[in-house]
Amino acid sequence: MNAPKGWYEGVSMPRFGICIGCEVKIPYVSARNTEKELESRSRSHRSSTYSVRSWSRQLCALCRSSISYIEQIGCPHCGRAVRCTDCERHPLFVHGLTANRSAVAYSEAMKAWLHRYKFQGDTGYAAIMAGMMLQRYELLAATISNFHHQITVPPLPLYERLRRWLYQLPSVPYPDVVTFVPSTVERLIDRGFNPAERLATLLATAWNCPVMPLLTRMTDQGRQSHLGRSGRELALSGAYCCHTQALQTLCVNINTSNKSPLYILLVDDVYTTGSTVRACAGALTGALRNYGISSIICSYTWARA
Ligand SMILES: [Zn+2]
Ligand SMILES: [Zn+2]
């Protein structure tokens, strides 16, 4: 029989956390990530409220080294690591999308993480993925503002400008509004959460900017992962429309005296052919034009296939 532990044992005994990727023991990181805590909860209910800023401490060194960051931008439009002819044939701006950026390349290890997050409901990955997106944002957004000069840098508070000057950080534009690719009602009921919405919420919270459900999903033609580019575009034509109430709230709260266009960041988990973000940006641009709002829409996904 195990004797009950005293307070001194709780303090002096080494405590361990579990790596979210491979479940090996790692040094204790936070009270929520202890073995006991994880044992008492099912994987599906693992909390995603770990600090997004300290995401890397929830992974072992091996899992951290398996992250396939996009280090160089090969295509200035979709943010792929290699040059792609796809964007030359099907430009993003036709659909009202200025550019896309993604934090990681969609490697086998990253595919496994997304599978666990999206299809097995392990929501603990949300903080890890959002943390990676948060860490890479400044670097990636700087490559957009270098390429698209119409993205102006909004005035930053004095302490923030000093911090950037001190650490030689790039002055990148932060979004005015963060939105996300919506799920269908069926998938929302099935999964219990929208993976893109959770990432968008964590990012917006970290940036202290609003997150708004500006889009709704109209139809569901099933999963598009097996379809090619033309099949996806056909399946997604008319699939998204603007959420009228959210758009009206945005119009009411928008600062009309500010002449610079509204910078909207559209968040999704993975960019495969870009059909989803193109369809979303198309719906958003049309609706915003009807309301007389000039906007710049960029998409930001965790992975780029
Ligand atoms: Zn690991
Ligand atoms: Zn491209």
Tokens of 126: 């949300």
Please name the residue that has the structure tokens 């204790």.
28
Tokens of 201: 């919420």
From 192, 240, 193, select the one nearest 220 (Cα to Cα): 240
Q: How far is CA 174 from the centre of its chain?
A: 14
Residue 297 CA to ligand 1 center (angstroms) comes to 35
Residue 78 CA to ligand 2 center (angstroms) comes to 4
Q: How far is CA 158 from the centre of its chain?
A: 28
Per-residue pLDDT of the chain in tens (305 residues, 90 and over written 9): 455 566 666 666 666 778 888 888 887 654 444 444 444 443 433 444 456 778 888 889 999 999 999 988 889 899 998 888 888 888 888 889 999 999 999 999 999 999 999 999 888 899 999 999 998 998 888 888 766 655 554 566 677 677 767 766 556 678 889 999 999 888 899 899 999 999 999 999 888 889 999 999 886 655 655 666 666 666 666 789 999 999 989 888 876 566 678 889 999 999 998 999 999 999 999 999 888 888 889 999 999 99
Residue 62 CA to ligand 1 center (angstroms) comes to 6
Residues with CB under 5 A from ligand 2 (ion): 75, 77-78, 84, 87
Residue 57 CA to ligand 1 center (angstroms) comes to 10
Which of the ligands is closest to the CA of residue 99?
2
Which of the ligands is closest to the CA of residue 273?
2
Residue 32 CA to ligand 2 center (angstroms) comes to 40
Residue 123 CA to ligand 1 center (angstroms) comes to 16
Which of the ligands is closest to the CA of residue 64?
1
Do 132 and 67 form a contact (C-beta atoms < 8 A)? yes
pLDDT of residue 27: 75
Do 269 and 100 form a contact (C-beta atoms < 8 A)? no
pLDDT of residue 90: 85
Tokens of 154: 């909004």
Q: Which residues contact 187 (CB under 8 A, 6 or more apart)?
A: 194, 220
pLDDT of residue 138: 83
172 backbone dihedrals φ, ψ, rounded to 5°: -105, 150
CB atoms within 10 A of CB 200: 25
- Biggest CA pair distance of the chain: 72
Residue 144 CA to ligand 2 center (angstroms) comes to 13
Residue 198 CA to ligand 1 center (angstroms) comes to 23
From 104, 136, 93, select the one nearest 305 (Cα to Cα): 104
Do 214 and 250 form a contact (C-beta atoms < 8 A)? yes
Residue 74 CA to ligand 2 center (angstroms) comes to 8
Which of the ligands is closest to the CA of residue 60?
1
Cα(164)–Cα(177) distance, integer angstroms: 22
